[in-house]
Amino acid sequence: MDAVTKRLAPGLLVWAFGLALAWGLPGSVWKGATPPPFPWAALFPAALAAGTLALAAPLLAWAGGPGLASRRPLALLEAPPDLLWACLLLTLWPAAWGPPGTLAWLLAFLLAALPGEVRWLSQAMPSEYPFPQAWGQEAVSRVRRTVLLRLWGRWLAARFPIWLTATLVLERVLGLPGLGTDWFTRVALRDRPGLALWVGVLALLWLLAQPGKGEEP
């Protein structure tokens, strides 16, 4: 067994346990209900939200550096829960615009998730004092860029399930069916094949984000 396999083995065991748990979910289908069709229409908004977050958070972390994690304004923005952002958006949404839709969901998601993700990335960055600060701003920017590029894939794989949970809250408040609602509904209806597929997709994301042979973990 090589080093990569040894490093991946514990994680693969955890995902295998999750897959077995999805297939062996206790209980029975409630009143013979059938699993809902997959919300294909929600894929583009979800991809747009994840793509925006995947670009905006590293850019802000690169601009602010590791010191951004200890900034009080960022902590104040991170503190409100997803429910509060969704309710605030509903309160401020102009009635002339009609009921809030995908745009409102996207704004609420970014407001709720972006501060926490910027902090997550900033905390993962190494200290810049005394080096590379002593080498100048160009060296600092290069080090930040290198670190964030190495973190990017693993950060996405680690945080995607968290984003999925956050979308469930926003979808329920705004009344929009999406990926979070699909996951929760399949748990409620004991849709074991659907849940197993979800676990398989998340496991694949985790596996793709792991460093390969010759790379440091």
> Tokens 């080498």 belong to which residue?
135
52, 110 in Cβ contact below 8 A? yes
- Provide the 8-state DSSP code for 68: G
Residues 37-89: tens digit of each pLDDT = 888 888 888 888 888 998 999 999 998 888 887 888 888 888 777 778 888 88
Residues 204-214: tens digit of each pLDDT = 877 877 765 55
Question: What is the rounded average pLDDT for all residues in the chain?
Answer: 80
pLDDT of 187 over the 60 cut: yes
Q: What is the pLDDT of residue 97?
A: 82
CA 25 centroid distance within chain: 25
pLDDT of 109 over the 60 cut: yes
pLDDT of 29 over the 90 cut: no
pLDDT of 191 over the 90 cut: no
Residues 148-185: tens digit of each pLDDT = 888 887 788 778 777 776 787 788 877 888 888 887 88
Q: H or E segment at 5?
A: helix 3-23
Global pTM reads 0.76
Q: Tell me the percentage of the chain whose pLDDT exceeds 90.
A: 3
SS3 call for 141:
helix
End-to-end CA distance of the chain: 17
pLDDT of 217 over the 60 cut: no
Distances (CA, A) of 27 to 31, 32, 104, 192, 194: 12, 12, 36, 11, 15
- Provide the 8-state DSSP code for 134: G
214, 198 in Cβ contact below 8 A? no
Q: What is the pLDDT of residue 99?
A: 79
Bigger pLDDT: 21 or 26?
21
